[in-house]
């Protein structure tokens, strides 16, 4: 492959590196900011008294507007990440049911990394459903963590 932005070349295709796959530099900040934002939301969810006073008053200063703009942008990115997590979690049983003949040995070749990814998504789905049945607060906390760490988690799983 060419060495353009968004593309990469495996130096040794027979023995690929065991490290994480390469990432785009322009999106690398997501793996740092989103987990921090999700953990901050989690802190405010369980301890509402820690909400900064700036968020409880009207936005009258430029600093307050900037903070609210950041919260809106980060919340939108986290929401989109959560929607992607929901899609992959809900699609995992469908995918695994479709690959069942291949998994039992009666079919052609399949990518084991893809199978591993959807199997782990299936496990995460049932853990989240168990948390939802146990206590919805723990479900919200676990889902926030999964959605916040999703870019790093997906790269780690694939």
- The tens digit of pLDDT for each residue in 2-18 reads 445 555 555 555 555 55
Distance of CA 64 to the CA centre of its chain: 28
Residues 91-121 pLDDT 10s: 988 888 887 777 666 666 777 778 888 888 8
3-class DSSP state of 30: helix
**Phi, psi at 154, each rounded to 5°:** -65, -40
- Contacts of residue 148, defined as CB under 8 A and 6 or more positions apart, other chains included, come to 34, 35, 37, 38, 39, 41, 78, 81
Report the chain's C-alpha Rg in angstroms: 20
What's the rounded Cα separation, in Å, for the pair 144 and 150?
10
Count of alpha carbons within 13 Å of 76, Cβ hemisphere only? 5
Give the number of other Cβ atoms within 10 Å of residue 87's Cβ: 11
Residues 59-75 pLDDT 10s: 677 777 887 888 888 88
Stated pTM of the model: 0.71
3-class DSSP state of 107: coil
Q: Average pLDDT of the chain?
A: 78
């Amino acid at each position: 492959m060419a060495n353009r932005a968004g593309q990469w070349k495996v130096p040794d295709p027979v023995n690929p590196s065991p490290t994480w796959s390469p990432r785009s530099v322009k999106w690398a900040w997501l793996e740092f900011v989103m987990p921090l934002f999700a953990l901050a939301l989690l802190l405010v969810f369980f301890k509402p008294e820690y909400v900064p006073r700036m968020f409880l008053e009207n936005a009258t200063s430029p600093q307050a507007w900037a903070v609210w703009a950041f919260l809106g942008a980060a919340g939108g990115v986290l929401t989109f990440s959560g929607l992607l997590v929901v899609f992959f979690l809900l699609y995992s049983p469908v995918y695994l049911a479709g690959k069942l003949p291949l998994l039992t040995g009666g079919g052609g070749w399949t990518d084991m990394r893809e199978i591993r990814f959807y199997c782990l998504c299936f496990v995460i789905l049932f853990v989240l459903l168990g948390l939802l049945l146990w206590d919805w607060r723990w479900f919200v906390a676990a889902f926030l963590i999964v959605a916040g760490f999703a870019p790093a988690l997906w790269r780690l799983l694939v």
